[in-house]
Amino acid sequence: MSKIQAAITAVNGYVPDYILTNKELETMVDTNDEWIVSRTGISERRILKDPNKATSDLAVPAVKGLLEKRGISAEEIELIIFCTSTPDMLFPATANILADKIGAKNAWGYDLQAACSGFLFGLTTAAQFIESGKHKKVLVVGGDKMSSVVNYKDRNTCILFGDGCGCVLLEPNTEGYGLQDSILRTDGSGGQYLNIKGGGSLHPASHETVDAGLHYAYQEGRTVFKFAVTNMADVAAEVMERNNLKAEDVAWLVPHQANKRIIDATAERAGLPEEKVMVNIQKYGNTTSATIPMCLWEWESKLKKGDNLILAAFGGGFTWGSVYLKWAY
Ligand code: UT7
């Protein structure tokens, strides 16, 4: 029997309607459109304004649309891996909440937290369940309501992030399509440069933690930039090299959307021209776990069966990695 590989057989996404522009940010903090665009490439981002809605509410329309596209019911899903850094609550897992909201009655699931690399960690984890023969329909969701952890008085971070969700369905493939290889890495010594300190067991929520703003995302931008630019480029090049892929063999680079300058450096290192690089950071900013599946969603109609895709990410943890997959439809 031929080897079972995990192939993406459907992709979808969802972004909330509200558009937070650089112009509006100019009225909130001491910043300007020119600075934001030249340093990050971001012009606007989407925000889930309804205070009663959470990350799972970004996922519900994304997943419902995906099921419709693939023509299957929620009951057919066997496993949900929800990659997020902004779960609805500490527990139960957002995967559970989502399963209930969409009626995935036969699924088990869990949340996976690897910050901006979450989707790649989730995809690689999900693939094991397909490759082993354990499951035939696994849903991988990358979703974050970053506006729930952003301090809109901190110009260092509030200009960067947006809300959104992307999701893919993984199914077995025995014709050589799907996930081919992945390299994933973590380095906990980088945790100090990008984190949310409050609300966990180290600093449980209290008046003091809230007063100190520990519930907000904190980032030492310049340090994270240095690590991101090197590691994301290196790991993408490494996955290409060990699979004997030259730039001309790669149809698309699908990079995490944190900063246009990091994306450009990764593309340059891989020798890929800009027309082979998925970039939508200008519209959505950094949606953390959602950036890569949201790119796949936006570019779906341009993808061809057999296309070689290199996915690459870097994020809090530090976490980073790259995935090589052959598009299956
Ligand atoms: O997705 C997870 C991984 N995260 C990343 O990959 C993000 C990595 N980091 C970055 O993308 C960049 O470091 C930032 C976009 C966050 C910042 O860009 P930078 O070129 O590294 O700027 P900087 O932090 O070195 O700041 C340069 C100057 C500073 O002023 P001084 O000290 O030179 O006077 C900042 O205070 O720009 C100032 N600044 C701003 N000015 C206008 C910082 N934020 C802003 C702002 N508007 N929003």
Would you say 161 and 288 are in contact if contact means Cβ atoms under 8 Å apart? Answer: yes
- 4: three-class secondary structure by DSSP: coil
The whole-number pLDDT of residue 243 equals: 98
Residue spans of alpha helices (H) in 259-299:
260-270, 281-284, 291-299
Domain ranges of the chain: 5-176, 180-326
Would you say 293 and 167 are in contact if contact means Cβ atoms under 8 Å apart? Answer: yes
Centre of ligand 1 from the C-alpha of residue 99, in Å:
38
Averaged confidence pLDDT in the chain: 98
Q: Encode pLDDT of 277-309 as tens digits.
A: 999 999 999 999 999 999 999 999 999 999 999
Instruction: Examine the residue annotation and report whether 256 is marked as an active-site residue of this protein.
Output: yes
Centre of ligand 1 from the C-alpha of residue 286, in Å:
14
Task: With cut-offs at 50, 70 and 90, classify the pLDDT of residue 1.
Answer: low
Q: Encode pLDDT of 43-84 as tens digits.
A: 999 999 999 999 999 999 999 999 999 999 999 999 999 999
Q: Is the model's pLDDT at 23 over the cut of 80?
A: yes
Would you say 126 and 79 are in contact if contact means Cβ atoms under 8 Å apart? Answer: yes
The whole-number pLDDT of residue 327 equals: 98
Beta-bridge partner residues of 173: 5
CB of 156 closer than 6 A to ligand 1? yes
Q: What value does the mean pLDDT take over residues 224-246?
A: 97
> How many other C-beta atoms can be found within 10 angstroms of the C-beta atom of residue 163?
31
* 5-176 and 180-326: identical CATH topology: yes
The whole-number pLDDT of residue 2 equals: 85
Q: What is the CATH number of domain 5-176?
A: 3.40.47.10
| Topology at the third CATH level for domain 180-326 | Peroxisomal Thiolase; Chain A, domain 1 (3.40.47)
Beta-bridge partner residues of 183: 322
Task: From the CA of 115, give the closest atom in ligand 1.
Answer: 2
CB of 321 closer than 6 A to ligand 1? no
pTM of the model: 0.97
